[in-house]
């Protein structure tokens, strides 16, 4: 385990060691955690509804981003799905890096989208009935590509969408536009 021993301090030999697949990297003094916070205003600014035929959603189907009814034997390429599309911007407001939870050699290449997935799922989305609070629809976002899309002043981008380095630095945002696959309910 890469967690600091009780008391929070690491020995000099442990300092800087990190097994590939940890979800955080402690800062210089061995303390701190990432703290991922979604931006609700960003979601509200660009949400829209789209109707799409299943044949245009094949890549998303490969990534299991569609409702279970899209995978039944009765489903055809001409069936229409109604998608609530929205952007997402997540900030790491913590004091440590957020890193993929899978070792790099297990990241999956998705030829349809031309990128590596470094996590099985990054977010879950639920659409709730305002009157009852009951879930009426759901979605999930696989890790499209963890990266420092933008950073607050004074913070430098350190992670990019590559096969070698993905993550989210403190003070930085990972942004997904509403028009990419799986960014929907």
Q: For each of the chain's 185 residues, which pLDDT tens digit applies?
A: 344 444 444 444 444 444 444 455 555 555 689 999 999 999 988 999 999 999 999 988 887 888 888 899 999 999 999 999 999 999 999 999 998 888 888 888 878 877 777 777 778 888 999 999 999 988 877 666 789 999 999 999 999 877 678 899 999 999 989 998 888 99
Question: For residue 163, what pLDDT is reported?
Answer: 64
For residue 103 the two structure tokens come to 């070792």
Question: For residue 5, what pLDDT is reported?
Answer: 44
SS3 43: helix
55, 139 in Cβ contact below 8 A? no
Task: Output phi, psi for 38, to 5 deg.
Answer: -75, 155
CB atoms within 10 A of CB 23: 16
For residue 121 the two structure tokens come to 């799922």
Question: For residue 59, what pLDDT is reported?
Answer: 87
């Amino acid at each position: 385990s890469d967690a600091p021993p009780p008391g929070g301090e690491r020995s000099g030999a442990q300092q800087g060691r990190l097994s590939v697949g940890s979800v955080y990297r402690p800062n210089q003094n061995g303390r701190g955690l990432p703290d991922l916070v979604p931006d609700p205003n960003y979601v509200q600014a660009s949400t829209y509804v789209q109707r799409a035929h299943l044949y245009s959603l094949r890549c998303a189907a490969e990534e299991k981003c569609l409702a279970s009814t899209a995978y039944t034997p009765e489903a055809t390429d001409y069936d229409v799905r109604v998608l609530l599309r929205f952007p997402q911007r997540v900030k790491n407001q913590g004091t440590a890096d957020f890193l993929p939870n899978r070792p790099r050699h297990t990241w999956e290449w998705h030829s349809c989208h031309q990128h590596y997935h470094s996590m099985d799922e990054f977010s879950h989305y639920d659409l709730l009935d305002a009157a009852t609070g009951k879930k009426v629809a759901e979605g999930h976002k696989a890790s499209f590509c963890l990266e420092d899309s933008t950073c607050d002043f004074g913070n430098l981008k350190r992670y990019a969408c590559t096969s070698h380095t993905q993550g989210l630095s403190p003070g930085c945002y990972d942004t997904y536009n509403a028009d990419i696959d799986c960014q929907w309910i």
